[in-house]
Amino acid sequence: MPTLIVTVNGPFAYADNFPQAGTLTLMAPMCSQHLGGISTIEEDMQYILSDYNCRNHPPNFGNCKAHVYDLRINPGDVCSPQWIGTYVDCVTPSKGLDVKQWRFWLRVPKPNVLVPINPVQAEIIVPGNQATNKGVYAVGVRLIYNNWDGQPIPLWYCDRPARNGNGQDVVFRFGNYGDDHAFLEIDYTSPLRDDKDHEDAVDCFESLMRNLGLDWSIYIPPMKQFGHALRSGENLESGKLNDCKAAVARVSST
């Protein structure tokens, strides 16, 4: 069976086995001017998620809608998915999860393996606690489907096929490169670049935590100015291009 590798960048929360067992929901917080996109390495295989909620909304999330996308991957046999690495672990808020309070949701089947990408040194700051939770946290995830069926992957929006600007159904197709691997990328990023002080990353993390009912913040040690060597423990990847790569959250049901 071919292998599908999906690389996810951006400040998502990953709701495990939600809304039903076997589903992983990527929840994008209300980060200003951020856009989500999905692409393969093939020509014309990129789609920007054009329907989403905006931070500038009336009280009580007025005018916000349920923007739910589905990547209809056929994962094959997935017995016991493995989470590898360190994530910020959170529980489902007591009030539950309301899609209207997020920029959008993107649902995928559970993969065989979830691996952290570009983990960075950081401190999770909880108000009222003297000690911080120092560690190496994932700022993205690689989803590995070992038994994918190799077929084109359609994208659906609100239980209907998503359409591109030409009115065509959005379907991600893959070329044959002589091996059994295919690659898909999911990004949720802002236009802010070269943010060596990681201000956008902190803002993204705080937005993510607010959506989960928490007032946590994060501290990421600043990287050195360009042209200077990085010392051990300094983070280049968290400041590369679009700096919204703060720690991502794994959300459990308990």
Query: Burial level of 10, CB count in 10 A (0-12/13-18/19+)?
Result: buried
**Confidence band for 26, pLDDT divided at 50, 70 and 90:** very high
Share of the chain above pLDDT 90, in %: 54
Q: State the chain's mean pLDDT as an integer.
A: 86
Residue 61 · residue 96 · CB < 8 Å: no
**Confidence band for 231, pLDDT divided at 50, 70 and 90:** low
Q: What is the mean pLDDT of residues 19-23?
A: 92
Instruction: For residue 183, list its beta bridge partners.
Output: 5
Is the pLDDT assigned to residue 254 strictly greater than 60? no
pLDDT, tens digit, 9 for 90 and up, residues 146-169: 999 999 999 999 999 999 988 999
pLDDT, tens digit, 9 for 90 and up, residues 72-100: 999 988 887 888 888 899 999 888 999 99
Say which residue, 177 or 207, is predicted with more confidence: 207
